[in-house]
Chains A and B, each alone.
Chain A
Amino acid sequence: EVQLLESGGGLVQPGGSLRLSCAASGFTFSSYGMTWVRQAPGKGLEWVSSISASGGDTFYADSVKGRFSISRDNSKNTVYLQMSSLRVEDTALYYCAKRDVALGYGMDVWGQGTAVTVSS
């Protein structure tokens, strides 16, 4: 079964750091780009960051550029999101998703999300 399982969320103070992980199974992880998307409580979807299959190319939303870093370990079938200098407005449910070139780079597999709360 194709699956993504996020972890690492929690409560953190403004200015703090957190590292999210997304463990993949059921597909050839190293062949697919991966993406993080977040959803603030009661709000819509916001793209956060993407990484290519090899890890050589990374992309960030302006709202997180310079504070978040995406990486992957293809030997562990895991993608990470290192978040620093966290702000209250980073509070959201963070999803990881697989992008499939055969489906127009659509995000065809999603995890259930990990919640991040930034509050003092």
Chain B
Amino acid sequence: EIVLTQSPATLSLSPGERATLSCRASQSVSNYLAWYQQRPGQAPRLLIYDASNRATGIPARFSGSGSGTDFTLTISSLEPEDFAVYYCQQRSNWPLTFGGGTKVENK
């Protein structure tokens, strides 16, 4: 099973600041990595697929990068609605696995 480790666990930032979230895989997942956002009380939302492709309707301030074992989700300038928990997920191998999540909180 591929283990995804997300860091930091919590990121305390203010609106307008840049957020950089990390996801590290225990073995190469090529570029088969997705990012999801989950706001409190809501279902997750697909942000990024295949490491760097924005899903439909996702604002350009969200970007993804990386390949192999190291991946980054960047939010260029935080909006109030971006304070949420973010998960990475790999589809390289079964079982599908998610990272433990990074909470982006309003400082």
Residues of A at under 8 Å CB distance from B? 35, 37, 44-47, 50, 59-62, 95, 97, 103-108, 110-113
The distance in angstroms between the C-alpha atoms of A62 and B93, with both chains bound, is 13
CA distance A95 to B55 in the complex (A): 19
Measured CB to CB, the closest approach of chain B to A2, in angstroms, equals: 11
Task: Mark B residues whose CB is within 8 Å of A.
Answer: 1, 32, 34, 36, 38, 43-46, 49-50, 53, 55-56, 85, 87, 89, 91, 94-101
Bound-state Cα–Cα, A52 to B32, Å: 18
| Inter-chain contact A108/B56, CB cutoff 8 Å | yes
A45-B36, A111-B43 known; A103-B49 Cβ under 8 A = yes
Q: List 6 A-B contacts (CB under 8 A).
A: A44-B100, A45-B38, A104-B50, A105-B91, A106-B49, A107-B34
Residues of chain B contacted by A35 (CB below 8 angstroms): 96
Q: In this complex, which of A46, A60, A97, A110 has the most chain B Cβ atoms within 10 angstroms of its Cβ?
A: A110
Are B43 and A112 neighbours in the complex by a CB distance under 8 Å?
yes
Secondary structure of the A side of the interface? strand
A60: chain B residues at CB < 8 Å are: 95
Contact status of A110 and B50, CB under 8 A, knowing A50-B96, A62-B95: no
**In the bound complex, what is the Cα–Cα distance between A95 and B46 (angstroms)?**
14
**Residue contact B43 to A108, C-beta cutoff 8 Å:** no
Bound-state Cα–Cα, A18 to B95, Å: 23
The reply to whether A44 and B98 contact each other, CB–CB distance below 8 Å, is yes
Whether A104 touches B53, Cβ cut-off 8 Å, given contacts A47-B97, A59-B94, is: yes
Q: Which chain B residues border A106 with CB–CB below 8 Å?
A: 34, 46, 49, 55
Complex formed: what's the CA distance from A35 to B96 in Å?
Answer: 10
